[in-house]
């Protein structure tokens, strides 16, 4: 083989690998493909909702409802919480909620109450408690529940926290940014997270929220918690 041909083949291989890795672990905002669900024993039961899915911007209201229906009130960290709407809603429902996010952001000025089907204004003076820093395991200590919705840099750390500190954790994974491990080639990020949690003897309950896009959540807890 000539040197030039070898170089060309190496470049093609590199491009193919780059394409494959990008399709698996970058900003894929679409729904999880049915083939990924079917291939995973843990996810296979998650059929698409028959109800028309809501817009992605309603994910905070839908996660808030899921938490209220499933868990007793307590102290919750909204990890990578962005503007903090989930924490705001949980606070209004009596939870003690704190955003942990390295980027300081103001609450949105309004949101839609999906039960009353009307817009609700958030006053300029309203705030939620925030820790303006990247998540680190020691920050988990005061909380009963840690939720991360489409957050960066903390999915694996939160699974570690669930295992080491017996905390309840809810992940709504999205793209893979600043994580310490990557899925195997061809493996979906969700399947990788489930495998990682199961290997730590954690219980993993997948669920689907009724919005368009990356709507599969993982409720993770240790057997003892
Ligand atoms: C895609 S946004 C999601 C925000 C919000 N949860 C939502 O659903 O819209 C990702 C968030 O993760 C935050 N983030 C990035 N690195 C982080 C880290 N190491 N620990 C905690 N949050 C982080 C970003 O500042 C950003 O607010």
Q: Give me the domain span that covers residue 82.
A: 3-222
Residue 140: give its domain's CATH number. Answer: 3.40.50.150
Q: Residue 101: its pLDDT value, please?
A: 98
**Atom 18 of ligand 1, nearest CA residue:** 134
Ligand 1 binding pocket mutation candidate from 87, 152, 154 (most atoms within 8 A of CB): 152
- Say how many Å lie between the CA of residue 17 and the centre of ligand 1: 27
Does residue 134 line the site of ligand 1, with CB under 6 A? yes
Least confident of 2-11, 48-57, 111-120: 2-11
Beta strands in 6-128 (DSSP E): 75-79, 96-100, 110-113, 118-121
Does residue 154 line the site of ligand 1, with CB under 6 A? yes
Domain count, the chain: 1
Could you give the count of Cα atoms lying within 13 Å of 26 in the half-sphere of its Cβ? 6
Q: Residue 20: its pLDDT value, please?
A: 41
Q: Residue 183: its pLDDT value, please?
A: 96
- Say how many Å lie between the CA of residue 155 and the centre of ligand 1: 11
Residues in contact with 1: Cβ distance below 8 Å, sequence separation at least 6, in sequence order: 9
Whole-angstrom distance, CA of residue 26 vs CA of residue 3: 33
What percent of the chain is predicted at pLDDT more than 70?
84
Res. 25: pLDDT tops 50: no
- Tell me the per-residue pLDDT of 140-194, one tens digit each, with 9 for 90 and over: 999 999 999 999 999 999 999 999 998 999 999 999 999 999 999 999 999 999 9
pLDDT band with cut points at 50, 70 and 90 for residue 76: very high
The DSSP secondary structure of 172-216, one letter per residue, reads: E--S--S-S--PPTT--HHHHHHHHHHHTTEEEEEEE-SBSSS-E
Q: What is the pTM of this model?
A: 0.86
- Tell me the per-residue pLDDT of 190-207, one tens digit each, with 9 for 90 and over: 999 999 999 999 999 999
């Amino acid at each position: 083989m000539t040197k030039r041909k070898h170089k060309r083949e190496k470049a093609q291989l590199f491009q193919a690998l780059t394409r494959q890795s990008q399709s698996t672990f970058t900003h894929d905002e679409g729904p999880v493909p049915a083939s990924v669900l079917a291939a995973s024993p843990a996810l296979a039961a998650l059929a698409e909702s028959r109800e028309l899915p809501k817009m992605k911007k309603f994910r905070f209201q839908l996660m808030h409802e899921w938490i209220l229906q499933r868990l007793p009130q307590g102290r919750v960290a909204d990890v990578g919480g962005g503007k903090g709407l989930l924490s705001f809603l949980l606070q209004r429902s009596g939870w003690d909620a704190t955003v942990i996010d390295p980027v300081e952001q103001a609450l949105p000025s309004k949101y839609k109450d999906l039960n009353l089907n009307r817009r609700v204004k958030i006053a300029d003076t309203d705030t939620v408690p925030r820790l303006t820093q990247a998540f680190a395991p020691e920050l988990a200590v005061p909380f009963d529940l840690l939720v991360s919705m489409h957050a960066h840099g903390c999915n694996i750390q939160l699974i570690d926290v669930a295992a080491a500190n017996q905390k309840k954790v809810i992940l709504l994974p999205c793209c893979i940014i600043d994580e310490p491990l990557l899925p195997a080639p061809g493996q979906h990020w969700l399947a990788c997270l489930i495998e990682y949690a199961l290997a730590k003897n954690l219980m993993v309950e997948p669920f689907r929220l009724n919005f368009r896009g990356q709507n599969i959540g993982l409720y993770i807890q240790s057997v003892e918690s």
